[in-house]
Structure 1
Amino acid sequence: MSRSGYGVALVVGALLASAGCSSPYEGEAGSSGPRAITPVEGCGTSSWTNPADLATDREPARCLPGAPSPQPLGKTRKLTIATGTLSAEYVAPLEVALAKGEFKKEGLDVTLKVLPTPDALPLLAKGDIDAQWAAPEAAVMNGVKGGFDIRWVAGNFSPAPESKSGLWVRLKKGESADRVRVAGRRMGTMIGKGSVIAYPMEKALVKHGGGLDRIQFQQLGSADVLTALQNGGVDSAWLLDPVWRKVDGDARYAFLGGQPLGEPLGGMLYGRSLLHDDVDAGVALLRAYIRTLNTYFAGDYKKDPAFVAELAKLLKTDKAVLESTPSLRMDWEIRKGTTGRLQSAYAAAGVAKGDPVPESKVVDRALYAEAVGHEP
């Protein structure tokens, strides 16, 4: 078993032991029972898009700025959200919501806690943390397959069309961007095979005669990936924002593809506490998150220098670094079929076996639908 596959097995084993669960899909899927959906001022027809719409130019769902308006809970709830980092741009909406008091307006006392996914999953399954800002990675899918009550309840972002965050290759003699053979090459990445990036990576590799089972992975630290690509230590690499700017425009390298446009691959995961025990708090948390997107991240938010400076301070990064890459397309919705496509990639990478988990056992759109007043 590969190191990444072994890590997935360990996480699932820990989850099974901590939750004492053995039967697949134990417990009902989704939020607890039917809930009344009422129209929400400022959230009209543009606040929901058809989940089956996979068009790359699809406009993300949006309400008016300041909508949906707060609906304070009768009693303050203390919630903990785990996240793998507080410095990445995709975490910015949570940090802005905290800084602007959007969670507080809902009667929520939110703490963001840095925890890697393998450490956070057992805590989410047991109810020791309330939510996780992550993705339905292989470990999550295998945990759900084992019977854990974890659902993906909101999306996070997709890249801008001009973004080139993704798979880059060092061209060999006679190769060009549209004529590259990647099979047998070594890829440098700081992301394991069990990550959601396996899906776009597989998609890009297949276009060029490869696949996750036809390349050699070399896991590297974030500071070493670019160096290894440039000095010949690896033949290809998955370069994240803003690292790809270092090779963009250099004829020795070619960009082969990145995350699909218009398709978020991560976001908010809930455990039993917000799915069943306190659904009101679960909806309130998403309402605050959605309002933050509509108010501060509705379009090209990097056109506002003052806001970029504020983001740089929150993320503890250089303002120039933020400005060097295009704005993310922040998006709270989840596309139909994403979890199936992810699981196909995990199977190809050798970190998932058996039948795939049905989408209905992984995705719950009901909470964000309620937050914007949409009747699913």
Structure 2
Amino acid sequence: MTEIEPFPVSIPEHDLADLRARLDHVRLPEAETVPDGTQGIGLARLQNLLAAWRQHDWRSLEQRWNAIPHYRTRLDGLDIAFWHVRSPEPDAFPLVLTHGWPGSVLEFESVIGPLTDPVAHGGSAADAFDVVVPALPGFGFSERPAEVGWTPGRTAQAWADLMTRLGYERFGAHGGDWGAFVSTELARLAPERVAALHLTMPIASPLPEDVATADAAEQAMIAKRDMFMMTGPTHVIVQGMLPQTLGYSLLDSPAGLAAWLSEALVAFSDTRPEAGGGVSVAQQVDDIALYWFTGTGASAARWYWEAVRWTPRSAEAQNAQAVTVPTAFTLFPGEPFPVAKRWAERRYQNLISWNEMTYGGHYAGWEQPGLLVSELRNAFRQARIR
């Protein structure tokens, strides 16, 4: 189908009953033998998460979901699902928001209203957006690829085609995690159409001379990046090498899926009480349930298998793929792989904003939605003027 069709969400009742039965009969291992989290998500935490999932009201989530205009269309041979909300303001600026893993379009649920109807949320009509929120291939209600090749670059081309199909010649792009990769590629692919770019995760790395001349702040960033590469990227390694093997557990065991996703949802968020505690249990369960009912644990994991064979590995190779469109960054302290401004500006050659926040982590739309809305409004104000 090349047309755009409404795509209301309705999971069959027998799928809900099957999940309830599985949750009632989960098999869990004994407790971890260390208290510091180095063996992974602890038994008590997972038990609490599963208890919350047993009480989860999927039908209520469906009602929230279907209250947002949801559609599906075929792009490059794959059915892509997306929210598309037009603003009541006639001069609204089109904006495509792209999520990552282990997130979903649900990351942006809370920001759609303030972005599309700022007046109703205490803002100015001049900051209104038409918002498009597509699910990555193999995530959520987008179709699961049956062939190799769905990289961030191919996805960016699909997003460009989607915006054309929706009638938007010129637009802005935002992303974090894989969404940052896709949005960066979209800006490189169609710089004449992407009026500006906003990212919460710069895709940039230090050159050897940057490491040699790093100041104290950059040395701390490098140490954090090194520590992450030693202990943090288990999901990158496993999903990049054996997504199919892992996928059997993610599709067959709700406990396995919950543990795998929650590990990253908590580890990469800002869990300090003064920061709001990170991604809440309720938000985690919504996201985990979406993965479960759409059967996308394996297909989402394959993104890593595809991307590790596609992504430039060195800073030099990244910088060679320059981005020339106006680019704004919002940096959150809970980001596990920090980037210094001078590393990023070599690749993103038209840097218009670099804002470092006090609170927040990898999942801005869940953790700090108000801040994200404010940063998006600021980032695209000049892009509206042509």
TM-score, normalization: structure 2?
A: 0.29
**Structure of greater relative contact order (alpha carbons < 8 Å, 6+ residues apart):** 1
More helix by share: 2
